[in-house]
């Protein structure tokens, strides 16, 4: 079974530029999550999708971050404009169903450096 | 704000020893708990899940849960250098608008020396 796919793996941009990350979840997984992991910290949830609907985006900085999952499969997370503090690893995860308990599986992540 | 506290590291143990990783959580409603292993520069990898009070064993790993004390732990027996990684504790929200969300601690960095 193929895992969660993410691209790009690395991205370096200057502040105020825009960037987009792509995620394709495990086949059949209805729920998709985007996390931000800053160096030395645990992952923090940014947004959770159930199929193509948003379940939880309470921690998404909506003035600069946006995400979509138009066909209920792959998803895109965008940052515009980027700030220095956005430097982090952006992790995508998926689970078969929403709710608890449901195991989440992570993709390899995208390491973003904002200069 | 749901808090997850893990024992401060780094934790260093010799090869063959038992490594003990501890975690306390603030959300009394959490019913599901996960342990992830994260190697440096890699993404978190799910290694254990536990839902009921008591012990759950899987190979060299044993997860322990005490919901009354809001405490979960992970024991690694016969530790190997390949176990050297950061271990993340993640309770799962069990109700409300955050149902299914994982709350992560900062992690405990484990080093197993030969």
Residue to mutate among B100, B104, B106, B108, with most A CBs inside 10 A, is B100
Region A47-51: mean pLDDT is 92
* CA angle centred on B49, ends B57 and B86, rounded to 5°: 95
Are A43 and B104 in contact (CB < 8 Å)?
yes
Copy the structure tokens of residue A77. 């997370």
* B105 C-beta neighbours (distance < 10 Å), count: 22
Q: What per-residue confidence (pLDDT) applies to A13?
A: 98
**Does B32 contact A at CB distance below 8 Å?**
yes
**Does A53 contact B at CB distance below 8 Å?**
no
Nearest to A56 among B42, B101, B106 (CB): B101
Contact yes or no for A111/A10 (Cβ under 8 A): yes
Over residues B26-66, the pLDDT tens digits come to: 988 888 999 999 999 999 999 999 999 999 999 999 999 99
Q: Is pLDDT at A82 greater than 70 in this prediction?
A: yes
Region A5-28: mean pLDDT is 97
Q: Is pLDDT at A42 greater than 90 in this prediction?
A: yes
Q: Is pLDDT at A111 greater than 90 in this prediction?
A: yes
**Does A110 contact B at CB distance below 8 Å?**
no
């Amino acid at each position: 079974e193929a895992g969660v796919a993410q691209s790009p793996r690395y991205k370096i941009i200057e502040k105020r530029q825009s960037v987009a990350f792509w995620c394709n979840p495990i086949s059949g997984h209805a729920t998709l999550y985007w996390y931000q992991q800053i160096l030395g910290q645990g992952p923090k949830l940014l947004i959770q999708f159930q199929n193509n609907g948003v379940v939880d985006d309470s921690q998404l900085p909506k003035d600069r971050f946006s995400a979509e999952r138009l066909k209920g499969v792959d998803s895109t997370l965008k940052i515009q404009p980027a700030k220095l503090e956005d430097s982090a690893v952006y992790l995508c995860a998926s689970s078969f169903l929403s709710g608890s308990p449901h195991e989440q599986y992570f993709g390899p992540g995208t390491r973003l450096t904002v200069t | 704000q749901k808090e997850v506290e893990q024992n401060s590291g780094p934790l260093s143990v010799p090869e063959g020893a038992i490594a003990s990783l501890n975690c306390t959580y603030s959300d009394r409603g959490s019913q599901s708990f996960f342990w992830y292993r994260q190697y440096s520069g890699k993404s978190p990898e799910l290694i254990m899940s536990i839902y009921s009070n008591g012990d759950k064993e899987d190979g060299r790993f044993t997860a322990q849960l005490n919901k009354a004390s809001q405490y979960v732990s992970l024991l690694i027996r016969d530790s190997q250098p390949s176990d050297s990684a950061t271990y993340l504790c993640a309770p799962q929200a069990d109700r409300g608008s955050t149902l299914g969300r994982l709350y992560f601690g900062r992690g405990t960095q484990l080093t197993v020396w030969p």
